[in-house]
Structure 1
Amino acid sequence: MFGLEISSVPTILPTLETVLHASFQQLQWIMNAYTIAVTTVLMATGTLADRYGRKLVFVVSIAVFGLASLICGLVEDALLLIVSRFFQGMSGGAMLICQVAVLSHQFREGPERARAFAAWGIIFGIGLGFGPIIGATIVAVSGWQWVFLIHAFIAIVTIALAVTGVRESRDPEAKHLDIAGIATLSTSVFCVAFYITEGPDFGFTGPTGLTVAATAVLSFIAFVLAELHSARPMFDFSVFRIRAFSGALLGSAGMNFSFWPFMIYLPIFYRSALGYDNVAAGLALLTYTLPTLVIPPLGERILLRFGGGIAIPVGLFVIGLGFMLMWAGSGVEHVTWLTLAPGCLLAGAGLALTNTPVTNVTTGAVSSTRAGMASGIDMSARMIALAINIALMGFILIAGISSRLSSALPGALDASHLQHLAERIAGGTAGMSDFPELSLLPAAETAVQNALIHGFRLMMLYGGLSVWIMALVSFAISGESYAARKRSAQNSDEPSCVPRSSP
């Protein structure tokens, strides 16, 4: 359900833009409302699940996710959809945290744990891999509403499986809900995403922009202080002393500097830049998502053989290499999905090599009683990075389009008009008749397409370089720790496996 939700919704964004008359910023918020909402509940869910029972909270979150999906499918306004997506994200985040905590509790050691998380990665990959074509087919056959409504039916089956297959577990020491931490962290993440997304309109250095930025900084400082002074913090900073945990956490963030946020925009590239319809765009997206279906078992084997300090940076490096190949493939004279396919396949493979080992290591590096907290921090890192980078990649796209149009039309448009035109082009809704200034361009349609491709190439370059930096830092933190542990295990003739803690 979670993988399908992530990958099917981006394919219908161009349809939502047309049917609901959504602006480019609203399209960003349709995705960001979900990711920010996930972030708001992650740590609270971990605490609630540890205290009241992971199975109980898991079943409740599935039910609420199905209901929220039903509401998303019934609304007929972009703003209402954004609000509905927020509630869907809250329940989806709770569902995700609980499933990771349940797996961590029921499968605790060595090969059995690796097989369980590999299976989790494959099932996640099924939803992720086939989500684009499922979403596109649903739109073509019925309507965009069923991309959401389908989860109401899947939720019923999932609840039945959870009730019969999950063993209840809890942490007897989890007693208090960290309201201060939840409120301050959520406020900070929201303000950062809002600042990046809406900054071009209200001005990054204007009164509104500075107020939003200051609120983000002060809220984060308040969050850190609240956690440091809490007897039972939802975000226990002491786990960062565990090198394996810290290195894996950078892997969680790294995937969301690159693969996941770009997936939001890739359907727009296929639709707006290459002129594909929904079904063709969905089929092209399979090159990006299908590797996540078949590669996870290899990722777990690499994890068992070399440890997370090697496996996770390698996975991140492969993602970055895929982005650089996409950047190269989008620079040829005649860009098609085939020129991007090698990079898409490699990026998807890198994501699969990283995703399940990251979750395995973060939850395995702490005691099983704190699995909810560990998975909460892991998923918080993912969703915070995703929310920020959805906004940041959108900003890079618009800036790239604007700069190319500005050089092609020097002095013809003022800054605000150019910004508006770039947003319309990014969303695929800028017709030649809407902007007479485009008639000043020789071969106007080609110039617009080139500007759009230029913006996307900047996004690809950002995704590749940023994830390589995260890979390097992750290796620097945890690579040597795992190498030392492996040497120690060999000297004592003990099998090398994922550690439960590493100093």
Structure 2
Amino acid sequence: MKQNFYSYKNTIVLIAICLATLMFSLEISSVPVILPTLEKLLNANLKDMQWIMNIYTIGCTTVLMAAGTLADRYGRKRILIITLTLFGISSLICGLAENIVLLIISRFFQGISGGAMLICQIATLSHQFQEGKERSKAFGIWGIILGVGLGFGPIIGGSIIAILSWKWVFLIHVPLAFLAIILVHFYVDESKDSDAKKIDIWGAITLSLSVFGLTYYITQGPDLGFSSPIALGIIITTIISFIIFIGVEKTNPYPMFNFSVFKIRNFSGAILGSIGMNFSFWPFIIYLPIYFQSYLEYDVVTVGLSLLAYTLPTLIIPPFAEYLTVKYRSGIVIPLGLFVIGLGFIVMRYGSIAEHASWLTMLPGSLLAGIGLGLTNTPVTNTTTGSVSSNRSGMASGIDMSARLITLSINIALMGYLLVEGIFSYLNTAFSKTIDSKILHSISEKIAAGNFSSLNRDFQELSLLNSSNAIFHKALAHGFEIILLYGGIGVWILALLSFILFNPKKRQNKL
């Protein structure tokens, strides 16, 4: 009887944790689908759309390494309930936001609570499920739900906005968070670590400032002027913050990042895999809906369905990746996965500029990119934690997640910059440099955001030009060609570097 109650209780705990991870993953993959709608309804521009996604990842990065220490010191159940509450409140504010500024601010707090919530989920599962077989099953189910959220997020987001409104992409988390809080409160056992280390506050602050500063410089640089005093002040502050971060981590007895782990070649090779996955695949999911909705003129549900080819392989391929890792080792599989992601982007590049472009011409490249990510993700996670001693596995996992989120933030900004510059370059040539560059840059940003409807109204001089709308669409395609080349070639370079690190002449021993 006692055993049955224990099994029932743990089943409820697993349901609560899976609800939390579903919310976290949906906020990454479902929100991109609604960005073109937000651009129209909230008068958002491309930079606003970048910040809606970027600020979430920056928020996650801010608390990622500190959350585990907080949970160990003050209780994993207590911190999990607090983070679930904050996630529900911030989601409510996101859904009720009537302007873009409030939405971006609330997304930041949603990211902070989401990042802390993710770490608490892992800590809670580790304590609640301690038997080998039961523990493996629990983490396996948790991983599947995480994959379902990421893989089906686009179609879930598209369906919600079609049936209800964009607000419910956020508001749906309010009842889910409330249910998860009730289940955690009544069924999760409290646990603490009496030997919990001190929080590396200065490390968290300086790293967050560095990431935010670089992202802000890339995103707002075109408006400020990259060489303007304000922009130069931002980038100098960013560099100083990063230097201080390195100094803090080297002198702190309990650092977030112990740089000695990078001497382990397998660890460094796997971290390059983390960077490679988030160099192009996840940043591009922010911009792919703009291509489908604005260039191909698909409705939001069709956009969501089209994105399934991009995300579903990330859910299906991981078991095959584990098999390949056992047979050929991660030093082969991770660089191979990165290479396939890059190949997918190159194939998508040709699909995006095809004469009769459609979801079918994008399908082969989308599938390849998703397969590549599926091949890379699980081996990266296993290798980062498995290549260090057990007492360092938590820190290794934190570095892995930080590398992913930092790379994601920076490349969302970089891809947006390259998209606008690619469009600007095409328009500048098409109009034979007859239009003022500031006006043309403003037009480029509107095109990059998919805002074709207001162009003739805002820039009446262009309405006199024949086939201007066709030029705008071709410019958008050219911009996407640029970022697809950037994503593909960049990942190939990282794949090569990862392969070199994984395959030295002499294998390194664990530290």
Deviation at 1:436, TM superposition (A): 2.7
Separation of aligned partners in 2, 1:106 and 1:474: 36
Q: 1:466 matched to which residue of 2? A: 490
Which of 320, 332, 346 in structure 1 is aligned with 2:368? 346
Q: Distance in 1 between matches of 2:77 and 2:328?
A: 33
In 2, Cα distance between equivalents of 1:371 and 1:52: 21
Within 5 Å, give how 1:70-149 maps onto structure 2: 70-101=92-123, 119-149=141-171
CA contact (8 A) 1:247 1:309 kept: yes
Q: State the alpha-carbon separation in 1 of the partners of residues 104 and 335 from structure 2.
A: 35
1:339-418 alignment to 2 at 5 Å?
339-418=361-440
What is the one-letter code of the residue matched to 1:386? L
Distance in 1 of aligned mates of 2:301 and 2:287: 16
TM-score (norm 1): 0.90
Change (3 A) 1:73 1:80: same
The one-letter code of the counterpart of 1:457 is E
List alignment gaps of at least 5 residues for structure 2: 1-22
Shift of 1:19: 1.2
Paired AA for residue 351 in structure 1 = L
Write out aligned runs for 1:48-447 (5 A).
48-101=70-123, 119-159=141-181, 172-430=194-452, 431-439=455-463, 441-447=465-471
Q: Secondary structure at the match of 1:321?
A: helix
TM-superposed CA distance for 1:240, in Å, is 1.3
- Which amino acid in structure 1 is aligned with residue 200 of structure 2? D
Name the stretch that deviates more: 56-65 or 413-422: 56-65
Deviations 1:391-435 (A, max 9, x none): 000000000000000000122222211111001111122333332
Bigger mean CA offset, 180-189 vs 108-117: 108-117
Post-superposition shift, 1:352? 1.6
Secondary structure, in 3 states, of the residue corresponding to 1:334? coil
Check if 1:502 corresponds to 2:510. Answer: yes
The higher-RCO structure (CA 8 Å, 6+ apart) is 1
Moved more, 91-100 or 346-355: 91-100
Cα pair distance change 1:296/1:163, threshold 3 Å: farther
Distance in 2 of aligned mates of 1:250 and 1:46: 24
Structure 1: which amino acid aligns with 2:36?
P
* Alignment partners' CA distance in 1, 2:328 and 2:129: 20
SS for the counterpart of 1:256 is helix
3-state SS of paired residue (2:402):
helix
Q: CA deviation at 1:302?
A: 2.2
State how far apart, in whole Å, the 2-side matches of 1:379 and 1:165 are: 28
Query: Letter of the aligned partner of 2:497 in structure 1?
Result: V
- Give the distance between the partners of 2:371 and 2:497, measured in 1 at CA: 21
Shift of 1:109: 11
Asked if structure 1 preserves the Cα contact closer than 8 Å seen for 2:71 and 2:192, the reply is: yes
Cα distance 1:99–1:468, how it changes in 2: closer, same or farther (>3 A)?
Answer: farther
Give the distance between the partners of 2:171 and 2:130, measured in 1 at CA: 35
The CA deviation at 1:8 is 0.7
**Residues 30 and 364 of structure 1: CA distance in aligned 2, closer, same or farther (over 3 Å):** same
Could you tell me how far 1:338 is from its partner in structure 2? 0.6
Aligned residue-pair number: 487
